[in-house]
Amino acid sequence: MLKVLQRIIQEVNAAHHVQEALQIVVTRVCEVIHVEACSVFVLDPISQRYILIASKGFSEGVDGKLNLGLDQGLVGLVGQKEEPLNITDASLHPNYCYFPQTGEEKYRAFLGVPIIHQRRVLGVLVAQQTKARAFDSAEEAFLVTICAQLSGLIAQAQSAGVLPRLDAHTFEHRVNGIAGVAGVAIGTAVMAYPLAELDAVPDRKIHDIDEEIALFNKALVSAREEIKSLGEHLAHHLPVEEQALFDAYLRILDNESLGAEVITLIKTGQWAQGSLKQVIQQHSRFYEEMDDEYLRERGADLRDIGRRVLSYLQADAREKIVYPPKTILMGDELTPARLAEVPQGLLAGLVTAKGSINSHVVIIARAMGLPTIVGAEGLLLHDIENKTVIVDGYHGVLYVDPTLSLLKEFKRLEAEEKELSRGLEKLKEVPAETADGLRIPLYVNTGLVADIQTSLNAGAEGVGLYRTEVPFMARDRFPGEEEQRVIYRQLLESFAPRPVTMRTLDVGGDKELPYFPIDEPNPFLGWRGIRITLDHPEIFLVQVRAMIHASQGLNNLQIMLPMITNLHEVIDAKALIARAHQELCDEGFLVHMPRIGAMIEVPSAVYQAQRIAQQVDFLSIGSNDLIQYLLAVDRNNSRVAGLYEGLHPAVLQALLHVVQVAHAEGKLVSLCGEMAGDPTCVILLMAMHFDSLSMSAASLPRVKWVIRNFTLSRATELLEEVMQMHHPKMIRAHLENALEESGLGGLVRAGR
């Protein structure tokens, strides 16, 4: 049977198009398990009806014409049950529906198997036979295996839009993704297609090298002028550090950087387009192979830059896009430069098929207040263009061609959202304190100096997490002590006397530096974080010296150690920090020893939290990594991202344990990460008595509103209730209902 399966898969892979592949499948199934009929029904994502795509043993000409509702017939039942259905005589089953155009009335035995991709039913494969009989387990297993192979093929075909479709004007299309930036936007879909396709450029030899270099330099200058113009276009909307991203693009386009590498290849006789392709592919591949999402985004940015230069080399490829009012920009992936192309005042929202909530484009969208959805699987770009769409940035749902009633409801929610935002702006100067007296300081997470003003405008009471690796990533070498001191000093001065918690360098494995590459089979479990800096004390000492020196006269510095997995790492790191402090004192600097904290991000640290707390001044739970490690879920992997949930009972138990043991030692505990900025989670964090929360500046006003409009006593009741629940969705629904009852429903959906 294995050889038969391999042969069928080879035939399917060799097919010229998906319809041919599916016809091969139904034909081979009939031959292998000796049945008279086999058919494939595919679920149309817009109409939500099953369409007969391929068949053998049915009447000629029926393929593509027969369609069934989700609850119609035995096919609909297979889809609903999401499991095989093996029936001796189909005509006797209560769900049996007879369709005379198929000519299937003669078939009695029925075996239907769902085609499922990433928990989504894509279709149903059916085998039928004239003789009434039950299919045996080997036959059923064969069809299940075939369906597992078909699922990826059909998912890809749906995304590419190459499957037959029903007229969808009367149907509402809903696409699920990941909520990137909260909010509601209603507008017209505009596709941001790739400017030019680098991968399609062939290699080609040239004779006039000087002419080719001149052609490339001209394209480089044009691309630089375009990027500069786009940066100026967004200058009034973005913090200075985000504007610096466009400066980085310009540096990449410099003759001494990307330009020099391309010209070197041109001199070998390769034409400009081919040379550009090779350089961009080499560098982008380096970034894309990294597990750190920030660095992967650098790869996307680099490809975008390469396409822009290529489009000037291919002058005819540049196309003028018309942007209507309330443009909803969509694409497989978007870059900051593509956002900047939209004329001021016309951009209303963003949707991407790829990407993560921490991508460059989401950071900028958050700063601009643009509702955003990322990772929208099944986004059929060619079908959506120029259609009316609704972006629900709260739940990560895109509605295409919404019904009038849905459109009316979201317009009301959009108006209420604007009213809500105006109300949140008034909270800047008031404390985050519950009605019954619980005060919780709210800090910001940042890796960008330019976030300072945005954070202060949002009412941040300090920095709960400064990611020091960002300045390291922006360079082509390790920054020196004085370079680091200047950066740290600016941050410390801006927030003084508010506390600033700086995390020591957290790279390695999943956050590689271009000049410090690490090749590991499993980077998440490899050489990273504190492991690297303890193995390289020369790097660690320079950094903590720069931090402590920068705090002279301010004394608002706190140092935090990342990815702690055992007690000895804390003890060794503390010894190095004490050494750096003593060296500075011996050199005549009047500096104070900073408070030292440890991050709880892995299960081993959870179980050693009390011993760790005895060694440090405070603990900080990094919720993003802790959830990932506790649940064994990579939230950037679309196959399992739905399992990434901070309200999982195991996560809640871990958080409560850490807080309790730390408080038993008289130590403060903070939480930083997405959970801290989630209004639903904040209720439980209040009840657990976290001493502070740290989040993005954009999330801070909403969290403050929850705290000020909730009571500790009610939060404690809810914590006791949810700790008895076993499913994250039940817990989230219970908490959202509590927010609704308290008049805070507008924080988890649009409107009040």
Report the CATH number at residue 242. Answer: 1.10.274.10
Averaged pLDDT for residues 423-441: 87
153 and 33, same structural domain?
A: yes
- Whole domain around residue 255: which residue ranges? 198-317
In a domain, 130, yes or no: yes
Residue 732 falls inside a structural domain: yes
DSSP summary character for residue 449: T
299 and 345 share one domain: no
72-93 pLDDT tens trace: 999 999 999 999 999 999 989 9
pLDDT at position 392 over 80 = yes
327 in a domain, yes or no? yes
- Tell me the pLDDT of the chain averaged across its residues: 84
- Tell whether 525 is covered by a domain: yes
pTM (2 decimals)? 0.63
Q: What is the CATH number of the domain that holds 142?
A: 3.30.450.40
Whether residue 84 has a cis bond before it, omega within 30° of 0? no
Is there a single domain that holds both residue 390 and residue 513?
no
Q: For the chain, what is the domain count?
A: 4
Residue 382, domain CATH: 3.50.30.10
In a domain, 419, yes or no: no
Same domain, 111 and 236: no
Amino acid code (one letter) for 557? L
Residue 614 to residue 609: CA distance in whole angstroms:
9
Higher pLDDT, 693 or 154: 693
**Which of 360, 384, 402 is the C-terminal boundary of a domain?**
402
pLDDT for 512: 65
Measure the CA–CA gap between 392 and 375, rounded to whole angstroms: 14
Predicted pLDDT at 293: 53
Whichever domain contains 505, its CATH number is 3.20.20.60
DSSP 404-415: HHHHHHHHHHHH
Q: Are residues 670 and 737 in the same domain?
A: yes
Q: Are both 294 and 357 inside the same structural domain?
A: no
Report in angstroms the alpha-carbon separations of 557 from 219, 355, 500.
47, 34, 5
Q: Is the pLDDT of residue 341 over 70?
A: yes
**Nearest in space to 504 (alpha carbons), one of 661, 390, 620, 365:** 620
Could you tell me if residue 167 is inside a domain?
A: no
**Is residue 677 over pLDDT 80?**
yes
Residues 303 and 326 in one domain: no
**Residue 564 and residue 461 share a domain:** yes
pLDDT score, position 169: 43
β-strands 618-622, 692-695: how paired? Answer: unpaired
Q: 671 has which bridge partners?
A: 621, 693
Across the range 266-285, mean pLDDT stands at 86
What number is the average pLDDT over the span 89-114? 88
* Structural domain contains residue 354: yes
In a domain? residue 360: yes
376 and 350 assigned to the same domain: yes
Q: Which two tokens stand for residue 658?
A: 């850490």
Alpha-carbon distances of 95 from 79, 90, 519, rounded to whole Å: 13, 9, 56
Domain-ending residue, one of 267, 286, 317: 317
Residue 597 has pLDDT above 80, yes or no: yes
Q: Would you name the residues annotated as active-site residues?
A: 360, 672
Residues 73 and 111 reside in one and the same domain: yes
pLDDT tier at 469 (50, 70, 90 boundaries)? confident
**Same-domain status, 312 and 327:** no
| Residue 223 sits in the same domain as residue 177 | no
